[in-house]
Structure 1
């Protein structure tokens, strides 16, 4: 008989503990799967000569340390330093640990909780009014009480399971946010390095123009003294020189501010920025670029994965809201002893115990729980819509970058040709002006044209490097390589 009762009790408890989890089971939202990123197929190679050619390779994987494709040891060091010391990344790591600990804490409610309590007290009975409390009729006594309380809430309708599921999704969201922060940080460092190299080249170009125009002004001063140049020619050259000098402080300001940015990204203060160390000649333009596959983009982008986990968490919260509307079960037990002597608390006559079970059900709350469930369902719809928006934005990022790579390659080719043509024009104009065949205004125009062409070529060269970093970032940055290897 006792065996039958124990079997029945164990079966009942197992049924209560293993009940169904109410609410929707998570299903990954549908996402668009276009055949290609762009409206029309882009050229497989961009550029106009072998030295400046880039090819798009559809099957090329992205390395976790993708910034090494630029072939700069200084850049590699900066990115690694940023990943090790950036405070925003430290904050993201702490947020992940917090989310993981919240999951572990919630999982603990799968099991019974036990509390042990010991309470000593010194007391006196009001014997003039009440009968003595103790069997010995003592008025003064010290009472020692020790009690073990055990409570357990069977997860009949899956309230705790759905709560754990939601917290797990939130922890995964934080993990993907951490990967997105790493990718964004590495991209910011790479772009800042490219910007530094571009600004230094533009400053060098501007200083070269200033030097050339200063030399031309000296020649004009000599010619004016000899009567071969007019005061108007001298004034025009002075104006051109002043304009060139005016452009220099702005470029120098951008360079210093960019160096401050690099220092802060690496976790340093601006005074620790060190000397400028990046130039365009030592940043290699990768020969091959990953083109990416549209069907794989959703899995490769950490921000998309983070948005998906928001949907998962919202789905689980619907189950939590629904389970809160159903009966809640609780089992509890207590065992202890009480005595005026510490050593006799657990003798037969001083032991007490209790077993209890309870079921609670909200029967009237003016619709509070119903509206909370509807709010959770609306939150699920919101997160699903936000997820679709993030997915569409990811496809747009890749398409925009592919178009930029193609157009900026053609822009660089044109800027490179324009610089060579302007340099040749300036050289011929200088010779003609020295021989007196053209006036100084023609020379000034040639100088300004060359300056603009050279700076345009530098900017176009930097844009192609930035396009490479932007494409890798848009495709997810290779963070999943660490998952596969792990």
Structure 2
């Protein structure tokens, strides 16, 4: 009997549920994916097809392969196994990515919870026991003996379902689905940015190590020169001022080392943190700038594909989508809501009699139409529309910022190549000039001050060349990062 009553109630509720799921259109606007950027280039006027060449390491000319796709592991273009290994470790161990993964998992479960609560009827079972005593006299019954206290046992099953006639629940699920997309793109953006940070830190570490090496080599050479100057002073060949000037130069070169070593320690500690490790217990590779390969063929995807490759743009699109769905939710709140409820059960004074059949059941429908809320619901809809307009503007701004970053990186690479060309020429001239000056000084052809000036020029020119080389590597990484390098779909 219980089964037949339950079947009967389900036969009445299920058609209504299906009607509620299928009937009506969702309120509010439908979200449409925005059009990609219309421009075919990133820079005004003629876009450069490549860069100039320079002497020495990192001076190869670069060619921009317009329309080519960016490799998912774009850092492999630098051809450094050590760099690849460090990035693999960072992508596996970074707490930043662990946090983003947890947020994505949370968003997915929020969607699952809301889907379970709105797409299907809610069924609950309950059992209760209540001790009661009736006062018949209070009910106006006086000719029947008053019964004693008794226990009422109740076992019941209740089913309820809110019909989604105007799509409020569907739009809410759509918004939560967009939130899942946002968290997914947020995770991808964190992954891509982490890889770029490791590359930039490795380049900076390599540059600092090279500059420290130059300073130490020059310090050693200046130390030998100081010894020669002291010998010549003892022999009466130079003045005490020459010895003091050489000593000053030694002190100036020594003063360069502590700031460079401090920066090297900081960037090494940062690499450890990127990998999710404590700085004190992590062995970080020593990167060599000359061992990094400058990518000569640089893929340059079109602006039209930028919006599909950059996860920050995709994330802004997902938030725009969510705002659109929220407009639909606010619009649906203006319309009636219909809820169907049904229950069946057994109420007995003997707990062993529940299996004898159902003796209590009910079916009910509830319609609720907002009439007066002081303008609250319409204000909420206007607020949702304003949030939608804001999200659209944020998306547009994100696209423009992405185009700007690519344009800036392209311009920087062109300038970097020219700068390195000039710095490399200057370093070579300074190196040759210092060699000539040193020989002339040893034979007494020039003054000690002239030799010191040649040494200063050599140190500064080497530092400038290294900085230009490092800038070229870093801006190449920045271009690949700005183009959406490292993109991969996350399930």
TM norm structure 2: 0.92
2:21 is aligned to: 17
Aligned-residue RMSD, C-alpha: 2.2
CA 275–99 in structure 1, closer or farther in 2 if over 3 Å, else same:
closer
Alignment partner of 1:316 out of 321, 325, 331: 325
CA 281–10 in structure 1, closer or farther in 2 if over 3 Å, else same:
closer
Per the TM alignment, residue 128 of structure 1 is displaced from its structure 2 partner at its CA by 8.2
Superposed, which structure 2 residues align to 1:24-423 within 5 Å?
A: 24-48=29-53, 52-108=60-116, 109-125=118-134, 138-348=147-357, 351-423=359-431
SS in 1 for 2:124: strand
CA 359–275 in structure 1, closer or farther in 2 if over 3 Å, else same:
closer
> Which runs of 5 or more residues in structure 1 are unaligned?
1-5
**Matches of 2:267 and 2:347 in 1, distance apart?**
74
**Matches of 1:293 and 1:141 in 2, distance apart?**
81
Per the TM alignment, residue 370 of structure 1 is displaced from its structure 2 partner at its CA by 0.7
**Matches of 1:409 and 1:309 in 2, distance apart?**
38
| Deviation per residue, 1:271-297 (Å, 9 max, x gap) | 123154211122111121011211111
**Matches of 1:9 and 1:346 in 2, distance apart?**
24
Per the TM alignment, residue 127 of structure 1 is displaced from its structure 2 partner at its CA by 7.2
The aligned length equals 475
SS in 2 for 1:45: coil
**Matches of 2:191 and 2:458 in 1, distance apart?**
41
1:3 is aligned to: none
Per the TM alignment, residue 216 of structure 1 is displaced from its structure 2 partner at its CA by 1.2
2:462 is aligned to: 454
**Matches of 2:234 and 2:145 in 1, distance apart?**
130
User: Given that residues 298 and 305 in structure 1 are in contact (C-alpha distance below 8 angstroms), is that contact kept between their aligned partners in structure 2?
Assistant: yes
Per the TM alignment, residue 61 of structure 1 is displaced from its structure 2 partner at its CA by 2.0
**Matches of 2:282 and 2:425 in 1, distance apart?**
36
Per the TM alignment, residue 64 of structure 1 is displaced from its structure 2 partner at its CA by 1.4
**Matches of 1:169 and 1:414 in 2, distance apart?**
51
**Matches of 1:9 and 1:102 in 2, distance apart?**
27
User: Given that residues 61 and 478 in structure 1 are in contact (C-alpha distance below 8 angstroms), is that contact kept between their aligned partners in structure 2?
Assistant: no
**Matches of 2:365 and 2:229 in 1, distance apart?**
105
**Matches of 1:275 and 1:297 in 2, distance apart?**
34
Q: Which moved more, 1:383-392 or 1:34-43?
A: 34-43
**Matches of 2:311 and 2:83 in 1, distance apart?**
23
**Matches of 1:363 and 1:334 in 2, distance apart?**
29
Per the TM alignment, residue 59 of structure 1 is displaced from its structure 2 partner at its CA by 3.2
> Which runs of 5 or more residues in structure 2 are unaligned?
1-9
Per the TM alignment, residue 331 of structure 1 is displaced from its structure 2 partner at its CA by 0.4
